[in-house]
Amino acid sequence: SPKMMENAVFMSFTFYSTILILKMYVVAIITGQVRLRKKAFANPEDALRNGGLQYYREDPDVERCRRRAHRNDMENIFPFLFLGAIYSLLDPSPMVARIHFFIFCVGRIVHTIAYLLRLKAPTRSVAYSVAQLPCFSMALQILLATTPYW
């Protein structure tokens, strides 16, 4: 609705959410490319088309992208989408909200880079933890705002 488009916090949330969704698409594309490079296909028909049933198999590099990086995104970005949307409706300070969204977004990007490039520990876990802070903050603020209605 046009009224939502006037909400600076919601527009900021929309910007960062879109960046994160695009990042998830990039991880999916990378997973497909690793599958092709490593000849490790999830379906027999794909393996047959690309050299034979021996390529219908799992590969650790594919699983690193698919199971770990992509699944971790789904476990973290989807809750952020809910929390950020509701938080945007609470009329928070636009600057504080932007900081929440930015920290989460950067944390998730660094987390993915650390996963895919196998950066030294604790890079990935620090990025994960930093990205969780704004989510906990938003969740707490949502609970405080909605407690009178339970």
The tens digit of pLDDT for each residue in 22-66 reads 999 999 999 999 999 999 999 999 999 999 999 999 999 999 998
Least reliable range by pLDDT among 2-16, 24-38, 82-96, 106-120: 2-16
Residue 1: per-residue pLDDT:
58
The pLDDT > 90 percentage for the chain reads 93
Q: What class, spelled out in words, does domain 3-144 have in CATH? A: mainly alpha
C-alpha distances out from residue 96 to 29, 62, 76, 100, 141, Å: 33, 38, 20, 6, 12
Is the pTM higher than 0.85? The answer reads yes
User: Can you give the residue ranges of every domain in the chain?
Assistant: 3-144
What is the Cα 145 distance to its own chain's centre?
26
Average pLDDT of the chain to the nearest whole number: 95
Residue 7 has pLDDT above 90, yes or no: yes
